[in-house]
Amino acid sequence: MAKLYFRYGAMNSGKTTGLLQTAYNYEERDQKVVLIKAGIDTKGDDTVVSRLGVARKVDLLVSPEDDVRLLVRRLALGERAADPAAAARQGVDCVLVDEAQFLTPEQVDQLMELVLVDDLPVLAYGIRTDFRTVSFPGSRRLMEVAHSLEELKTICRCGRKAIFNARKVGDHFVFDGAQIAIDGADVTYESLCGKCYLEAGGSLSATA
């Protein structure tokens, strides 16, 4: 029976590396994967890139308005398919999702329908909370409905397990602002344990 997996961790815990390794494992056995990425993540545009330098173009770049299940079905059957609602299994063996926290709760439910109705395994990779320790809507829904939850671990600067994602502008930590700010030239993130997060100025009384 197919399952929905949510593999989560703080930033720099190897999520994208794990996703690309999973894709390689499937394709090494002549099975087809569909790689999905939320379009709101503009870093790399239509490509996912691991910290190790491995990169791969995605098959579907989705916006919040997209029906993910319908897009996967159409891709599985090809443009000539008269009935996009036919079983997705016809042309796909696994769906992989990068930056799953950026999906809407409705899109997570659509992934679950791919699993339950189309018998298609889905592996979603992402982070649980933002820089204020507040859940992303997509991650919250995945925590609620996924069959399997797996934490991917990384370490804080102090050597403890990192669980929070602290935002930095320049050399300074910031704890106010929009939930989504893609890391780049001005904004970066550092994975911290709870103790270091509080010492940096963070709070555990943040609200969504």
Phi, psi of 130 (to 5 degrees): -85, -170
State the DSSP H helix or E strand holding residue 196, giving kind and residue range, or none if neither: helix 194-199
Q: What's the burial of 201, exposed, middle or buried (CB within 10 Å: 0-12/13-18/19+)?
A: exposed
99 counts as catalytic? yes
Whole-angstrom distance, CA of residue 130 vs CA of residue 179 = 6
Which entry of 65, 79, 99, 151 is annotated as an active-site residue?
99
Distance of CA 134 to the CA centre of its chain: 16
The Cα–Cα gap between 152 and 134 comes to: 19
Distance CA 138, CA 157 (A): 28
Report the catalytic residues: 99
